[in-house]
Structure 1
Amino acid sequence: MRKIDYLVVHCTATPQSATVEAIKNYWKNVMKWKNPGYHFMIKPDGEAVSLLPITEVSNGVAGFNSRIINISYIGGVEKSLKPVDNRTPEQKDTMRRLLKDLKEMFPNAKIQGHRDFPGVHKDCPSFNAKAEYADL
């Protein structure tokens, strides 16, 4: 198993109507990534979709990917693409449950948002993940 130092929370920075398949196609065809950006993506209805086994490296945070597990919710922007925390109650519940399970597997891993890494100039995940999940 990989050494996991961080459990990283993301938003897709898309409308909540975006589909998992459309996002995966963007990574493959536009970004030319071999692996997805996240290990898990949470749909507005709360369904967590596993995109990649946690034993493999995803493309969530450049320079840190070998040491992280990436979890994202679909959304994070309003119609004008301005960052906004628009998580549904179902997404919040699923994210908390998933992070709790992963924290049990990796008790020393820090939970934080994409924006909390050095050199990142994004608002992702459009809320303060460190504060929200400090109790886990």
Structure 2
Amino acid sequence: MRNIKYIAVHCTATAQTATVENIQKYWREHLGWQMPGYHFIIKANGEIAHLLDIEKVSNGVKGFNSETINISYIGGVDSKNNAKDTRTPEQKATLLKLLREMKNKFPKAIIQGHRDFPNVAKACPSFDAKNEYKNL
């Protein structure tokens, strides 16, 4: 079992119409990643795409991946590619449920947004996840 210190919340920084397959293709073909960026992606309808077993290391937060579970929702930008919380009610509900499950498995893990890690210069997940989920 990995020593999980963080549960990182991400956005894909894409339109909500982006597909999991296209996101994975980008990781492989443009970034050269062998492993997915996230363990879970939440689609606009609230459906979870489980991309990687939580025992394996994903590519979500450089320098922290070995101790982090990475969860993302599809979206996070407006039509001009500016950071915006675009979570649907279904995504919000699924994200909350999934975070609760992960927190139950890893009670000492800190839930925070990608932007809350040191030296991260991006708005991801386009909302204050640390504050929103502080009571979990």
Q: Shorter-chain TM-score: which interval?
A: over 0.9
Which residue of 2 is the match for residue 48 of structure 1? 48
Which residue of 2 is the match for residue 10 of structure 1? 10
SS at structure 1 position matched to 2:27: helix
Q: Give, in angstroms, the shift of residue 135 of structure 1.
A: 1.1
- Between the aligned partners of 1:88 and 1:61, the Cα distance in structure 2 is 24
Which residue of 1 is the match for residue 113 of structure 2? 113
- Between the aligned partners of 2:133 and 2:15, the Cα distance in structure 1 is 24
- Between the aligned partners of 1:7 and 1:120, the Cα distance in structure 2 is 16
Provide structure 2 residue ranges, at least 5 long, that are not aligned to the other structure. Answer: none
- Between the aligned partners of 2:114 and 2:78, the Cα distance in structure 1 is 19
Question: Deviations 1:24-81 (Å, cap 9, x if unpaired)?
Answer: 0000111000000000000000001100000000000000000000000000000100
Q: Which amino acid aligns with 2:45?
A: D
Provide structure 1 residue ranges, at least 5 long, that are not aligned to the other structure. Answer: none
- Between the aligned partners of 1:135 and 1:118, the Cα distance in structure 2 is 22
Q: Does 1:33 align with 2:51?
A: no
Q: For residues 11-90 of structure 1, what are the structure 2 equivalents within 5 Å?
A: 11-90=11-90
CA RMSD of aligned residues (A): 0.3
Q: Percent identity?
A: 60
Which residue of 1 is the match for residue 91 of structure 2? 91
SS at structure 1 position matched to 2:37: coil
Q: Which amino acid aligns with 1:29?
A: E
Q: Which amino acid aligns with 2:79?
A: K
Q: Which amino acid aligns with 1:64?
A: F
- The runs of at least 4 consecutive aligned structure 1 residues that moved more than 3 Å come to none
**TM-score by structure 1 length?**
1.00
Which residue of 2 is the match for residue 131 of structure 1? 131
Q: Give, in angstroms, the shift of residue 132 of structure 1.
A: 0.5
**TM-score by structure 2 length?**
1.00
Q: Which amino acid aligns with 2:20?
A: V
